[in-house]
Structure 1
Amino acid sequence: MSYAETLEQALLTVKQQAMQMQRCLQQRKLMDALKHTSIMLTELRNPELSPKQYYELYIMIFDSLSVLSTYLAENHPKHHHLADLYELVQYAGNVVPRLYLMITVGTSYLKCPDSPRDEILKDMIEMCRGVQNPIRGLFLRYYLSQRTKQLLPEDATEFNANFIITNFIEMNKLWVRLQHQGPLREREQRTKERKELQILIGSQLVRLSQIVDDNLSMYKDQILPVVLEQAIQCRDIVSQEYLLDAICQVFPDEFHLATLDILLDATTHLNPDVSINKIVLTLIDRLNGYKDRQEQEQGQEQEENTTSKEVKAADINLFQIFWNYLSTLNEERPDLSLQQFIPLIESVLNLSLRWYPENLQNLNALYKITTQKCQDFGSDIPPNCEYLFQNLLTLQNSESSTLRPSSNFFYKLISQCESFGGLLALQSLPLQKSALNSILDVLLHNEVDFDDENEASSNEGFLIDSKENLCSLLSIFEPLTKLGPPMPSLDRKGSKNVKGTGDHFPADEDDNDDEGSWILDPIQEKLAKLNHVVFQSVVKSSDPIKDIEFEMEVLLTLRNWCYKGGKNIKYTYPAIITNFWKVIRRCHLLATRCDSENTKRHTELIKQNFKYVSRSTNDLFNMCGNSFSDALYKLNIQSASLADQLSLGEIAYDFFSQAFTLFEESLSDSRTQFQALVYMAQSLQKTRSLREENYYDSLIVRCTLHGSKLLKKQDQCRAVYLCSHLWWTTEIALIGEEEGVTTDFYREGKRVLECLQRSLRVADSTMDNIQSSELMIEILNRCLYYFIHGDEHDTHVSVRYINGLIELIKTNLKSLKMEETTTAKTQLAEQRLSELHIDDAQNTAKVSNRFVIGSDGSYIDVPTVNGGRALVSTKLNSMYINEMIQIPIQHFNRTCDYILNQRDVDDRFKVIVI
């Protein structure tokens, strides 16, 4: 008998013969039915079918044979005896149909109680050796396995296991032989086809797991050794990878715990090209899953046998077994590449985290062997391996929430595992930066809760417990301190773009001394935050009375660490300085609560901390130069203000003096100078401890003189009239001062008037009439402030002076109106306004309300939005002269309206002539 040439023809033949077989069975013509069955089975001899096609054909034939099997079992022994049929079908002409018929009849016979089961099973499995073609033999034995699945003896576990193991061994041999069929050029295609058939082999292991059930001794002594021996001896990569993976998947977790050393030892004898890490990772995933299930069961307080299993699992030192395996593997397989070895390390590391989360020495051992492997590698780590070290160092593949590293975990890891830093140091600078950046993100989310006993009740946050551990933590991040900002890259249009680049300037790059050329690297920002996190950790974990000196020591350690970053201290030192301020305030608070001896001690500590702040600011200036002078100026003023609040006038004077020195030597931009003086005046006006030894007088005179020497006259005018407040102290409610009650306010009205007069002379000498008028109106507003807040005798700002100033402003505004533009420009402006649908009668007022003059003399557009105003900081490049003239006019009108309104509440305003 021949077979069809194509799959379609074969399927048609099978369908036709199956119908003929069923018709004959209905007519009880068994011999004819067997004849049609044999013809149908002949199609399974076709050598041209691919595995997918063969499987499709097999499924159709299997269904048809199921019908025959049912008929045979139902009609025994009434119409025929299966023992006779079993002998009869073995006379079929071709071996494939013969064996399929034999298995069909034999398995039908097994359903009968009087059948010799053992003999039939042994005979069938032995007869299957007659088909040695890989695909035909595989499906024949798979058919045998399917037919006998529910028919094996119930109380013969050992016999059943041997039967399935024998079938498994023969199937695996056939599966391996399939790789060597056909020409060499089709090897890749055959490998793909083999992987499509691997489920047939895996089904035998599933059967074994069902038979063994919970019989650990049988699995360990009889099944596992045989399966592993078969896998090792075949030397086939596909077979070894699949079989080891299947063993890990189908057998119970408890079995793996008891035979872990045997399984791992088997991987060392596999083909060198086998992916060992995939097998080990699968095994570790099973063990970690087992741990999760055990914890869930323990939480639910289930059966006692669960507890016994937990004790049994706890008695096994899993990490030691895996560690011995890694050591052996490293010795016996020195050719193992980093791509294969590092994932093994990572998987064992995850297992240690899951089973022994508190034992960091396990991790230290893993990092140590990895470091040794890298050193043995003998050259730079290939770029395609860097992601492996990234995952290993940052534990990014810890998917379970119980494994997700916390800030406390990384703190302990860095401080207790010396090998972690050693492995990190072997990596390239970009990889170190990336790994440390990820760890920084975790450390910066440091949250620690405390219970009533002031002990950490959460494992999330870390607490600095010693200077040694702190130094270990900081040394890890030292490479980041030396990184400069990202190098700007050029986009397609040739413009600079700093996003998406991993390259950095060195921190000591001389060409980047200019402040404008520096770009803040987010990493430096994180390092600054790390300083705060570390300090807060120390504060939370220390005794507020006994450990002030330890906090100071930690800050000095942080400062020395940041100093290694060169010019990057401009980003990190401010965090150190602000933490010194916190220590100073805590010392002051403690000094007010302690006895005289401790008060003296804390006072000395306060002065010492101010010295550290001064040293830090000096380091900033020496290292960064003029590029940081503006921020350094403010740090000195803030330090001075803090010293003043603690009644340390001499220290405050020193910091104010340093700020003035910076102003004189480093601040050259006129706008920056003006803003700096405004900030200085605001700070000086709030001081209270500088009155002794004329410190205050010296400083405010110096501030006013600097204001009078500014480059722009408008800046001079504004700076001087603002400095007038330095001679007119106002109340600070937070320290208990109250107007009318407090009597020791520092107020010299004569100096106030001198400042106002000086600023008025500067305003009058300004060549720009619009600007001059605006400045005079601002001075008028300042005069009204003093007129309200003090008697004329005290402030020396008399009604006569105010009326004279108003008259002068009126005269200037009258002269401004003579400068209005020509009729043509006015008509053009009206045309522009009409296009905006503004009423003609209100054109002038609405246009003028759009603009104001800023503190730097620029014109700012303030458009009307929905009846209100929205400040837009866009500076106008050009305006019509009549629009600019309206600005001081409208400002003066608003001031006059204010004076009129004040007459209702203060009779003194009635003598002011407007």
Structure 2
Amino acid sequence: MSYSESVEQAISNIKQQTVLMQRSLNNRKLMDALKFTSAMLTELRNPRLQPKQYYELYIQIFDSLTILSAYLVENHSNGHHLADLYELVQYAGNVVPRLYLMITVGTSYLKIPESPREEILKDMIEMCRGVQNPIRGLFLRYYLSQRTKQLLLPGDDKDAIEFNSQFIITNFIEMNKLWVRLQHQGQLRERDQRTKERKELQILVGSQLVRLSQVVDDNLELYKVEILPILLEQIVQCRDVVCQEYLYDVICQVFPDEFHLKTLDSLLDTSLQLNTEVSVTKIILTLINRLNGYIERIQQNNENKETNGDESKSENVPKDTFERFWKHLLKLNEERPDLSVQELSGIILSIMNLSLTWYPNNIENLDQLFDLVSQKCKDFGEEKIDDSESFMVDLLTAQNLEIVKDFSVYYFNLITQCGSFQTLLSLQSSQSQMEVLTTIINSFLDRIMSVNLKQTEDHNESPLLIISKTQLERFLAILEPMITLKNTIKGNDEGDETIKREFTLSRYQEKLAKICHFLIQRLDKSVFKTIESEIELLLMIKNAFHKGGKNIRYTYPAIIANFWRMIRKCSIYKKRIIKKETYYDNLMKQIFKYISRCISDMFNNCGNSSMDIIYKLNLQNAALADQLSLVDISYDFFSEAFGVFEESLSDSKTQFQALIYMAQTLQKTRSLYKENYYNSLIVRTTLHGSKLLKKQDQCRAVYVCSHLWWATEISSIGEEEGETTDFFREGKRVLECLQRSLRAADSRMDNVESCELMVEILNVCLYYFVHGDEQNTHVGVSYINGLIELIKNNLKSLRLEEEQRLSEIDATNKDSNDGTLGQTYNKNQYVMGLDGTYIKLGNVNNSSSANTDFMIKDMKINDMIQVPIMHFNRTCEYILNQRDIDNRFKTVVL
């Protein structure tokens, strides 16, 4: 009988023949049932069936044959002796139906107690050799395996176990040969299709190894001596990539971890004999994952025993597992010198995972691995970069290793204890180095953040302390690629590129500045007990950062900030240890010299691009020295700041802001009152303010400088108004500044801004009027009234201009044909900032220069006129409110 033309017809035929078979069995017509069964089995001879289709038919037939098998067992003693039937079915015409029937009858016979089990099993497995078609043969032997699953020789004696295991191994070997043969059938262009089909059938072969593991159970000796050598030999001899990868993986998965540990050398040696196209990385990873599961189970068992108080001996972790993998790795590298860096990195990452799992505190193992990869990178040279860049980043950062719970601890140990790590990193491309270093630094910064949130370091965690100069040197060596990295931001042309490079903060330099604080915080105080030792290490960091060239404009401020911290520490020790007062004074002076050296380096290396930060650093140092009563040092830093201002700050807006910052700093100083230093500096500041290019800047700078002659209390240092008597105050100079400021405002040709400046001066006058009496400040009622009258007169002219403009708008509205209203003015829409720019209310926090320019272009003349008018109205409202509090304000004429 021939087979059906389609799968649907085949399924229909199988169902039909199954019904006929069951009907015959019910009527006790066994020969008819066997005839229908044979017709049904003919469908499995169809050569056009794909693996999935064949499996679908196989499942249908398996269920039908199960019905037949059950009938044969039940009726064995009722006229259908299975021994005779076993001989009878072997006369079937076609080999496929014949063997399926023989296996069905034979396995049914095995269920009878008096059956010759061993002879039948041997006969069936030998007869299966009659089908050599790969797909038909695979399913036939798979059927034999399924039917004999519970029917092998009973008992746990050695002979039974050996026979059963040998039966399964023989079946496995034949199935594997058929499976491999499938790859070599058909035309060459169908090779990919056949590979796909083979992968669909691989579970049939793998099932034999699953059965074998169940038979072997915990018999390590049998597995080690009899079974594993045969399996490994079969894997090596087939020389098929798909087969070798799959079977090696199945062996690792189905047999116990303890077996793999005892036979590790055999498994590793076999991996060296596989086809060169086999992924060694995948094989090693599979094996390591199993062994990691084993060690985790041991550790958990030991913890449970300790928890339960079990006095039984805990299981020991084998000490030579890494060494065995290491020897294998060296042998692999020797025998496969063509192995790419990418493949080697994957294997080493797997072995790293094993080492960190089994021996978490052994950094020497990692050092060996990194050293091997370094040698491999040197051998391949530049060829390695394109193919293995991402793999090398994964290897160096270990981000894919779940065993690493705290990366900050992991990286800290690598940097301080593993010299090969830095060597390997230095061999990578600049992009890879930045990626690795960014990951490392982020882990440290995240740790700082988490510790700050918890307020204290967890004693159960590693404190990550730097205990020697050597460790710090290793840290700095690791960071060197980032330190020396040039800012490569590109502009539209050469000039634009230069500007962007100078004024754009590189994210890498930002991280370096942050890591500087981390390194200083991590110094072990039990080792570096003195401030001098901390200074020495900070100087090491400074010298390392100096290699960055112009980048020091971003990193040196972090160095200087740590010098400030040490100066503060010296100040505290000076107060506590009176007898060492001179010592700490000298030490503070020396630290200030180091700071001065840092600022000089920034000036020499960075030029004009860093003048703003240099100026501010000088003022901050001057303020700190003043707080510590180091008068000469404070004066020197102020002088340096003036030098930068006079020689390097040329932009008018920058000069104005710089003078405001200078005035703010000087106003808070106290120790400079001695030796007339303070008077000299504030006169110089005011003089510079009066010489600014723009009149409005002159006006504002000078009235701000008036505060330098009228010091106010600083509550943080214990000063209180009315109780502190040593304030520096010269009211006459205050009035002179206000008068000079008023002259500059009056000379401003823009009437709107001139009025605004006068209102600002009026506000300053009211400040002095509130915080002092007329005799001291020289800012009296007559001066304020005169200024108010001047402002009123100027505002009248502005209002006339405004009324003229509004009348023109009204006329335009009346003449409009569409009946719509003209622009309605909101008199509260704009205010003027200290730098003279107009700011739209509601956008105060978004008043960048770009936004300001846009708003100025949008502003109408009426908008501008309203700015000083509304400002003056607010000031008048303040004066009226103050009359209820201070009677002196009643003499102010509005």
Common topology (TM > 0.5): yes
> How much has 1:304 moved relative to structure 2?
10
Letter in 2 for 1:848: K
Could you tell me whether the CA contact under 8 Å between 2:732 and 2:777 is conserved in 1? yes
Indicate the residue corresponding to 2:95 in structure 1. Answer: 95
Distance 1:731 1:379, change over 3 A: closer
Take 1:82 and 1:290, find their aligned partners in 2: how far apart are those partners? 48
> By how many angstroms is 1:18 displaced?
1.7
Are 1:637 and 1:656, in contact at CA under 8 Å, matched by a contact in 2? yes
Question: Using the alignment, how far apart are the partners of 1:569 and 1:226 within structure 2?
Answer: 66
- The answer to whether the Cα contact below 8 Å between 2:813 and 2:822 also exists between their aligned partners in 1 is no
Across the aligned residues of Structure 1 and Structure 2, the Cα RMSD in angstroms comes to 2.9
Distance in 2 between residues matched to 1:319 and 1:546, nearest whole Å: 40
Structure 1 counterpart SS, 2:486: strand
Tell me the residue number matched to 2:633: 651
1:20 aligns with 2:20: yes
Alpha-carbon contact 1:587-1:606 (below 8 Å) kept: yes
The residue correspondences of 1:304-319 to structure 2 (distance < 5 A) are: 311=315, 314-319=317-322
What are the equivalent positions in structure 2 for 1:125-274 lying under 5 Å apart?
Answer: 125-155=125-155, 156-274=160-278
Structure-2 change in CA distance of 1:783 and 1:117 (3 Å) = same
User: Is 1:423 matched up with 2:424?
Assistant: yes
2:620 matched residue in structure 1: 638
Identity of aligned residues (%): 61
8 A Cα contact 2:488 2:501, kept in partner: no
- Tell me the distance in 1 between the aligned counterparts of 2:810 and 2:760: 32
Superposed, 1:746-761 pairs within 5 Å as 746-761=728-743
Partner of 1:121: 121
For the residues of structure 2 that align with 1:59 and 1:617, how far apart are their CA atoms? 84
Query: Secondary structure of the residue that 1:628 maps to in structure 2?
Result: helix
CA distance in 2, matches of 1:537, 1:474: 14
Corresponding residue SS for 1:520: coil
Amino acid at match of 1:362: N
Q: Which residue of structure 2 lines up, in the alignment, with residue 384 of structure 1?
A: 387
Change in 2 beyond 3 A, CA 1:410/1:836: farther
Residue 559 of structure 1, CA deviation: 1.0
Q: Which runs of 5+ in 2 are unaligned?
A: none
Q: Partner residue of 2:670?
A: 688
* 8 Å contact kept, 1:850–1:864: no
Match of 1:735 in 2: 717
Structure 2 match to 1:32: 32
State the partner residue of 1:573. 556
* 2:672 partner SS: coil
Partner of residue 871, structure 2:
891
Aligned equivalent of 1:532, options 507, 512, 517: 517
Bigger helix share: 2
Say if 1:304 and 1:658 are closer, same or farther in 2 by CA, change over 3 A: closer
3-state secondary structure, aligned to 1:691: helix
- Report the CA distance shift for 1:55/1:361 in structure 2 as closer, same or farther (over 3 A): same
Aligned to 1:353: 356
CA deviation string 1:578-609 (max 9, x = no partner): 11111111111111111413x32222221111
**In structure 2, distance between residues paired with 1:795 and 1:239:** 99
CA contact (8 A) 2:707 2:734 kept: yes
The 3-state SS of whatever aligns with 1:381 is: helix
Choose the corresponding residue for 1:522, options 504, 507, 523. Answer: 507
The residue number in structure 1 matching 2:569 is 586
Shift in alpha-carbon separation, 1:813–1:10, aligned structure 2, 3 A: closer
Mapped pair 1:912 → 2:892: yes
Shift of 1:4: 3.1
- 1:511 deviation in Å? 8.2
Could you tell me whether the CA contact under 8 Å between 1:178 and 1:190 is conserved in 2?
yes
Moved more, 292-301 or 753-762: 292-301
Aligned to 1:501: none
Aligned-pair CA distance for 1:829: 8.5
Q: What's the offset of the Cα at 1:890?
A: 2.4
Determine the structure 1 residue equivalent to 2:786.
Answer: 804
- Which residue does 1:432 correspond to in 2? 433
User: Can you list the C-alpha shifts for 1:332-359, whole angstroms capped at 9, x where unaligned?
Assistant: 1112222322211111111111111111
Corresponding position of 2:468:
466
Tell me, yes or no, if the aligned pair for 2:546 and 2:552 is still in contact at 8 Å.
Answer: yes
Q: Does structure 2 retain, via aligned residues, the 8 Å contact 1:294–1:306?
A: no
How big is the shift at 1:860?
2.6
With normalisation by structure 2, the TM-score equals 0.93
Tell whether the 8 Å contact from 2:489 to 2:500 is kept in structure 1 after alignment: no
Alignment of 1:101-112 (within 5 A): 101-112=101-112
Contact 2:758-2:791 at 8 Å conserved across structures = yes
- Structure 1 residues 832 and 108: CA distance shift in structure 2, 3 A: farther
Q: 1:352 to 1:888 in 2, by over 3 A?
A: same
Q: Given the superposition, is the C-alpha separation of residues 353 and 309 from structure 1 closer, same or farther in structure 2, using an over 3 Å criterion? A: farther
1:858 aligned to 2:860? no
Paired residue secondary structure (2:831) = strand
The question of 1:82 aligning with 2:78 is answered no
Distance in 2 of aligned mates of 1:295 and 1:22: 57
When residues 57 and 422 of structure 1 are mapped into structure 2, their CA distance, relative to the original with a 3 A threshold, is: same
Maintained 8 Å contact 2:489/2:501: no
In the alignment, the residues of structure 2 paired with residue 637 and residue 863 of structure 1 have an alpha-carbon distance, to the nearest angstrom, of 33
| Alignment correspondent of 1:503 | none
Gapped regions of structure 1 (runs ≥ 5): 490-494, 497-508
TM-score, length-scaled by structure 1: 0.91
Matches of 2:58 and 2:712, distance apart in 1: 100
Q: Which moved more, 1:201-210 or 1:737-746?
A: 737-746
1:816 is matched with 798
How many Å separate the matches in 2 of 1:828 and 1:126?
115
Specify whether residues 214 and 875 from structure 1 end up closer, same or farther in structure 2 by C-alpha distance, changes over 3 A only. same
Equivalent-residue separation in structure 1 for 2:355 and 2:607 (angstroms): 51
Cα distance in structure 1, aligned partners of 2:801 and 2:6: 104
Deviation at 1:319, TM superposition (A): 0.8
Q: d(CA) in 2 for partners of 1:660 and 1:439?
A: 41
Residues 446, 460 of structure 1: 8 Å contact kept: no
Deviation of 1:52 (Å): 2.2
1:550 maps onto 2:530 in alignment = no
**1:468-496, Cα deviation, whole Å (9 max, x unpaired):** 1111111112111222334237xxxxx89
Query: Using the alignment, how far apart are the partners of 1:862 and 1:324 within structure 2?
Result: 74
Q: Give how far 1:768 is off.
A: 2.0
Letter in 1 for 2:103: I
Distance in 1 of aligned mates of 2:631 and 2:614: 20
| Matching of residue 338 in structure 1 with residue 330 in structure 2 | no
1:444-502 Cα deviation digits (max 9, x unpaired):
2234869xxx997243652222111111111112111222334237xxxxx89xxxxxx
Q: Is the 8 A contact 1:724 1:756 kept in 2?
A: yes
Aligned CA distance change for structure 1 residues 831 and 140 (closer, same or farther; 3 Å)? farther
Q: After superposition, what is the alpha-carbon deviation per residue over 1:137-168, rounded to whole angstroms, capped at 9, x for unaligned?
A: 21111111000001112312221111111111
Structure 2 counterpart of 1:3, which letter? Answer: Y
* Partner amino acid, structure 2, of 1:530: I
CA contact under 8 A between 2:695 and 2:744: conserved in structure 1?
Answer: yes
SS of residue matched to 1:542: coil
AA partner of residue 631 (structure 1): I
Alpha-carbon deviations, 1:692-720, whole Å to 9, x = none?
11110110000000000001111111111
In structure 1, how many angstroms separate the alpha carbons of the residues matched to 2:771 and 2:296? 74
C-alpha separation in 1, matches of 2:721 and 2:309: 81
Q: Hey, what's the Cα distance between the residues in 1 that align with 2:843 and 2:80?
A: 106
Distance 1:84 1:634, change over 3 A: same
Q: Does the alignment pair 1:481 with 2:483?
A: yes
